Structure 1
């Protein structure tokens, strides 16, 4: 057998898999081949979306179904035995796997992340691959699992319900790290996972493994909103069945093992209302605190007392937005996050929806508004003569025309996009949300006439609106379509099909901004939700440029001896004041808790409508509207789009010749498009900027190498002038001329696949088989003709 002639897959089948089985690995239970562990980033092209490539490991070896302990990258025999090691190490870092192997069928190259010094890498023969128990020992060393008791807990398998659902790679890491930390005696654990990444499912798997292993016998899941408890009970926790109960005040049944509770259901303002004290201090040995950035920040608050009372239990905090201010610190209470999975990671992996940002600047926002002499409000009182700006609007001053202009712009956007796209409009307060609903109803009178629930005010004080919240987030319910809100929908709303988020409020709190953006990050492909759009009227998306938006939380709360403030704060308890860092001079937003308990109904504090000044007759217009662009790291692009693109392309192709060589030698030009998009090139935005019917080839040559761009029609006409088709028979010539026309209309990607032959007018020549084999003689000859056509198209003088 000539190994050099074998494909990579043949090498796996004939050499690598047999070596693993010989070493004692179970092919059915422990060896997974060609494992895709991401979904592929979603790229947005206008209204169309495409998926990028998935990250795929050739082999992942599992000790138990939930414990990956080794990764193998395979290459064909024309590569060296170590050729795949760097890719394997990259994947191993992402997947938290200690043992990495590369193989070309001759043997294995082993990188041991648990080893020290010169023993970190070695080459071993095919017959010497380690056994499952040998690699399990290395895994335990990597994780610091040293006792039989800790090993028993760590090896407990996750819950499997018989469906195809199992933890995604990041959920698996979060579960494993939490269980392993608790097995080693850690009693405070913090998990930071972006909204939409399945924190509750992750919590369920942690609880189930600790419960099944006997490490934790009575568990409390603590939240501060009924919606969170209801979603949890009906959803991921339903598998606990009769072992689970929801705690109600004065209805304490201690015969259950898993308890779901609201802070409000356990505590009150007087001692008799403190239902949690009906449990002994040691009743629970595990407490999971959902949305742990919210709730009981003050040491003397009733809510905080619950955690203090059950302080002997292990506490796990879950949040998408850890709180780190001068008054509150999640990390001080829980320690540093044991695992962080960010919004950017989720988008890059294809598990979360990417976003477009459209900034709309109104004249009164950008320039401010000063009342003319003698200007009176709607009650006839003279308006104070001063300059008003967007911080005043809808808080102390209401301009009717401004509300109307925002509503008109949102309506215009939806008419050009999808009038039934679920939309949340975040307003300054309840009064603003009420007025915005009315303005939107006027501008959408046709659809409101069909169903008045087309636009609804969903705020804490509006019972009708609150009753519609479940319908808004239910993908199967058509109405409501547009929700106007202030605070109620910032958290705890699993809006899978929300496609548009409108920001018409100043948002100084990074925590609140992250929570609001999180309303749009879920993907639901069944209902056509793959990305979402943010319409920003108040420059709230400036927060995207802040390093804190998607970075590790930095503790800034000063540590005072003998204190432990817990780091759990309700966003609705906070106001914001700017202070200056003494070292850097930069402004820091700190959030100062007010002395009050959050209203369990979700009703936020509002400015009193009676204290506002209401005016009309003001000229309000849109000054500018532009789309913000973000690089591959999720940061706003500050240089021009062309300069940014030029930098990326020249990083890939140093010269025009390098690019031409790559272009001409790539079978499918679509692969180059995908590669550049992965690097952060926004092809569609560039095409719009160039404003010509050019394809990617001319776009790159023009932007990066200053070549004059030719339109697709110009390139097609140049081919026709060269009489290139005369070498072909009549029918073949007609097919190629038709493909050339298709290129001129749609671009190169559409003529590279055989599927194009099934589309009119090409299908008029016959079936795909008839065209390829009958007209051109064979598939090989057809593909050669297409390749030659591309060469003629991209010939450079």
Structure 2
């Protein structure tokens, strides 16, 4: 009988009873636990979602994976994949079973063996966490506070639980590194919720903890306050307005305190508000985007952190360890959990992207007397990209940028343009508004700290996914971190970027997932995407050397990315402004489209081609099979869908054609050439062959019928295979013949017309 038992029969009749015998109740078991969304593919499709047969939980902690096999399979047949998933889910115990034998693997020791019965939930929990740690058990026991009908993503659950465990273990400096767009504020909220519910605090008294949430932008603090809405009665924001309301006394009557560090730090005229609090006032300080100077000895936040040194400090950052944020990692230590951009894209929680690197014939400027100096003086022989809009402005170049941006984005695609400074953001806004085709005055707006409240209102409108306008934001540094706008389709870089840290932040503005958004595009005028070629692009952060001898060189001080801080007005230096001579024609010389592979690494056109060649033979075996698939509109449509599932959509196929042939070629010829080294032909050549065969037209007695077929050929030659789709036939009839009745008169009946349409396509592709 064993032979015919399926895997689901084995689970129901053998594995489930064994779990029940070991006290695993339905509340502890999640069957077919899907934990990823599947990588986003083109055409609003997704790759495979990852799942495990059984997830075993106890006390809200994920304890074990059970990999089930059929009764007559070897019990450890699926063990390797289960171990990979366990590593991803940060689960220690893995069981593999065919219902008769049970194999247990402990990832901490790296060893496994057969066991007679599953351990009980309590036994497993105690093996993992020890019997003595009551605080851990208490913190695990508190459920997430969820609004709406969605649960936490697997990595959010891991980040929260690891933080709880670190606090329970007495760790006082904790770091979480999670890519932008993965919900760090949601994680912070669940951490705070659990600590408040548990009445955890550092002095062990019966009270709720006091928690300070530090951000470096008002817009980030306000976004976080919205997330903490369920606790709105326990929340207060520390700022000048609040302190003035209280006659100069800082607020103390809350549990969750929000502040931007500029508002509470020392300033020239007054001491910082933070020093008005006793140093042991807060139990926990959460530092959002903590790479932005919190740990730097001279950084703006360091004095605040030093003052509250008795508190636990939890840093949250989106950037793995790099030369320019090494001090953050020295201050907090190694992250207790990391979730990278690469993982986010592979799991389908973040949107993949492609890069368009734009070069122009004015990427450098050497002054000659043909050009007119409008302001300032020439101080260099040669000005490079990094000088533009900082020490030199050429308005015609800004105008070219504006026109190129509008050409390369969908008219209503939400777009953020990062500029060199606030003046450049104004200039670019004005040139975009000069060339735009949409009349709304707010189509393109500048959002920098100079706009103050009005700028924040425009930003909120941009973030609102139900509003079309504004479409384009120009900014300098204000939007580099944390601003959550899910439907951003384009990120435009028109100024060099100071560091890998800042680059990763900017890219994070586009990675958020939105329905119908298959990927986003980075349009790069300045070569900033060369930062992709970082040896550790989302790889493992290097270990921090502990101790060491006194003679070790001190790490070089990182360059802190400049923040648009409302208290520091943008300093306008006298710039050189040049108008080029009338004879100088500015143009884009190249747009190099780069696709990004599943590891977050950009592919050159050649690598992309090799990837494509590697995938294609699985879909068709020889040129004749490809020809017969392609010659029929229905099977061709299916093939194009399969190609899109592999990541090769219409736009990519067109890019491929332009790379190895010419836009005048048929995609069929491009695929046949790549796969089988066939000769390339143009659509014009194919049409001429068909026209040269009298048999094609002689079949039809009616002159209008012959003219209609010639009309289709002309359309195909001009516009390509789009004009040969089955659903295009109605439009073609309307364009050439008029009504369905006219078509019937020409061909006798509609079946003959459809047959002629399909037969014509066979003849187009018959030629080789």
Among candidates 552, 564, 567, match of residue 540 of structure 2: 552
Q: In structure 2, which of residues 130, 136, 141 is the aligned counterpart of residue 156 of structure 1? A: 141
Q: TM-score, normalized by length of structure 2?
A: 0.77
**Structure 1 residues 209 and 670: CA distance shift in structure 2, 3 A:** farther
Separation in 2 of the partners of 1:407 and 1:676?
Answer: 34
Deviations 1:331-386 (A, max 9, x none): 11000111111111101110001112111110111xx332333533125x775672
Deviation at 1:147, TM superposition (A): 2.7
- What's 1:591 paired with? 558
Equivalent residues in 2 for 1:229-240 (5 A)?
Answer: 229-235=221-227, 237-240=228-231
- Name the residue aligned to 1:106: 100
The equivalent of 1:387 in structure 2 is: 382
CA drift at 1:624:
0.9
Q: What is the CA-CA distance between 1:644 and the residue it aligns to?
A: 3.0
The DSSP-based 3-state class of the residue aligned with 2:479 is coil
CA distance in 2: counterparts of 1:146 and 1:683, whole angstroms: 60
Change (3 A) 1:243 1:465: closer
Match of 2:595 in 1: 629
Asked if the contact 1:473/1:495 (under 8 Å) is kept, the reply is: yes
8 Å Cα contact 1:329-1:557 kept in structure 2 = no
CA contact (8 A) 2:350 2:513 kept: yes
Q: Distance in 1 between matches of 2:127 and 2:238?
A: 43
Shift of residue 490 of structure 1? 1.2
1:52-102 Cα deviation digits (max 9, x unpaired): 1111111111113x3111112223345322111111111101001111122
Q: Which residue of 2 aligns with 1:4?
A: 3
CA shift, 1:222, in A, is 1.2
User: Cα offset for 1:481?
Assistant: 1.1
List runs of 5+ in structure 1 lacking aligned partners.
564-580, 583-587, 718-743, 752-760, 765-793
The equivalent of 1:403 in structure 2 is 398
The residue that corresponds to 1:280 in the other structure is 278
Task: Measure how far apart 1:631 and its partner are.
Answer: 2.3
Q: Which residue of 1 aligns with 2:500?
A: 510
- Give SS of 2:602's match: coil
- Are residue 473 (structure 1) and residue 463 (structure 2) matched? yes
Paired position in structure 1 for 2:309: 311
Question: Are the aligned partners of 1:153 and 1:210 in contact in 2 as well (CA < 8 Å)?
Answer: no
Change (3 A) 1:263 1:382: closer
What does residue 429 of structure 2 align with? Answer: 437
Find the counterpart in structure 1 of residue 36 from structure 2.
Answer: 38
How far does residue 310 in structure 1 lie from its aligned partner after superposition? 0.9
> 1:314: Cα distance to partner?
0.6
Is the Cα–Cα contact under 8 Å of residues 637 and 644 in structure 1 kept in the other structure? no
Offset at 1:390? 1.4
Match of 1:244 in 2: 235
Q: Distance in 2 between matches of 1:377 and 1:560?
A: 56
Aligned to 1:202: 187
Counterpart-to-counterpart distance in 2, 1:619 and 1:708: 39
Cα offset for 1:508? 3.2
Alignment match, 2:408: 413
The answer as to whether partners of 1:114 and 1:138 remain within 8 angstroms in 2 is no
Conserved 8 A contact 1:375-1:382: no
Per-residue Cα deviation, 1:34-62 (whole angstroms, up to 9, x for no partner): 11101110123xxx342111111111111
Q: How does 1:289-688 map to 2 (within 5 A)?
A: 289-297=287-295, 299=297, 303-322=301-320, 324-325=322-323, 329-365=327-363, 368-373=364-369, 375-379=371-375, 383=378, 386-414=381-409, 417=410, 419-444=411-436, 446-447=437-438, 450-463=439-452, 464-525=454-515, 528-554=516-542, 591-592=558-559, 600-601=565-566, 605-608=570-573, 610-617=574-581, 618-638=584-604, 640-641=606-607, 644-645=610-611, 648-649=614-615, 677=647, 686=656
In 2, the alpha carbon distance for the partners of 1:599 and 1:683 equals: 42
Other-structure match for 1:174: 159
The alpha-carbon deviation at position 556 of structure 1 amounts to: 8.2
Q: Residue deviations 1:370-429, cap 9 Å, x none? A: 2333533125x7756723221222222211211111111111123xx3x11111111111
Q: CA deviation at 1:215?
A: 2.6
Distance 1:100 1:706, change over 3 A: farther
Change (3 A) 1:711 1:357: same
The answer as to whether partners of 1:293 and 1:323 remain within 8 angstroms in 2 is no
| Cα distance in 2 between the residues matched to 1:7 and 1:83 | 15
Aligned-residue offset at 1:113? 2.0
Given the alignment of the two structures, is residue 93 of structure 1 paired with residue 87 of structure 2, yes or no? yes
Corresponding residue for 1:67?
61
Q: Do the aligned partners of 2:145 and 2:193 also contact (CA within 8 Å) in 1?
A: no
- Go from structure 1 to structure 2 and tell me whether the alpha carbon gap of 1:556 and 1:538 turns closer, same or farther (over 3 Å shift): farther
Q: 1:33 & 1:40 partners in 2: Cα distance? A: 19
Map of 2:170 onto structure 1: 185
Deviations along 1:611-635, whole A, 9 cap, x unmatched? 3323233421111112112222111
Cα pair 1:399 1:616 within 8 Å, conserved: yes
Distance 1:308 1:92, change over 3 A: same
* Contact 1:325/1:555 (8 A) holds in 2: no
Do the aligned residues in 2 keep the contact of 1:358 with 1:626 (CA within 8 Å)?
yes
Q: 1:462 is paired with a residue of what secondary structure?
A: helix
| Conserved? CA contact 1:422–1:481, under 8 Å | yes
Q: Are positions 1:21 and 2:6 aligned together?
A: no
Any idea what SS the aligned residue of 1:519 has? Answer: coil
State the Cα deviation string for residues 469-521 of structure 1 (Å, max 9, x = none): 11111212222111111111112311111111111101131111111111111
> Contact 2:55 / 2:62 at 8 angstroms: preserved in 1?
yes
1:100–1:111: 8 Å Cα contact kept in structure 2? yes
| Aligned-pair CA distance for 1:530 | 3.7
Q: Is the 8 A contact 1:702 1:709 kept in 2?
A: yes
| Equivalent residues, number | 672
From 105, 123, 126, the equivalent of 1:134 is 123
Q: Secondary structure at the match of 2:467?
A: coil
| Counterpart in the other structure of 2:716 | none
Does the 8 Å contact 1:328/1:557 carry over to 2?
Answer: no
Distance in 2 of aligned mates of 1:746 and 1:76: 48
Gaps of 5+ in 2: 202-208, 630-637, 690-719, 727-732, 734-739, 741-764
- TM-score (normalizing by structure 1): 0.75
In the alignment, the residues of structure 2 paired with residue 253 and residue 371 of structure 1 have an alpha-carbon distance, to the nearest angstrom, of: 59
Q: Work out the CA distance in 2 between the residues paired with 1:162 and 1:493.
A: 22
In the TM superposition, residue 684 of structure 1 has moved relative to its aligned partner by 7.2
Per the TM alignment, residue 288 of structure 1 is displaced from its structure 2 partner at its CA by 0.6
Q: In 1, distance between residues paired with 2:609 and 2:600?
A: 17
Partners of 1:328 and 1:104 lie apart in 2 by 48
The root-mean-square deviation of aligned C-alpha atoms, in Å, is: 4.3
- Return the offset for 1:7: 3.1
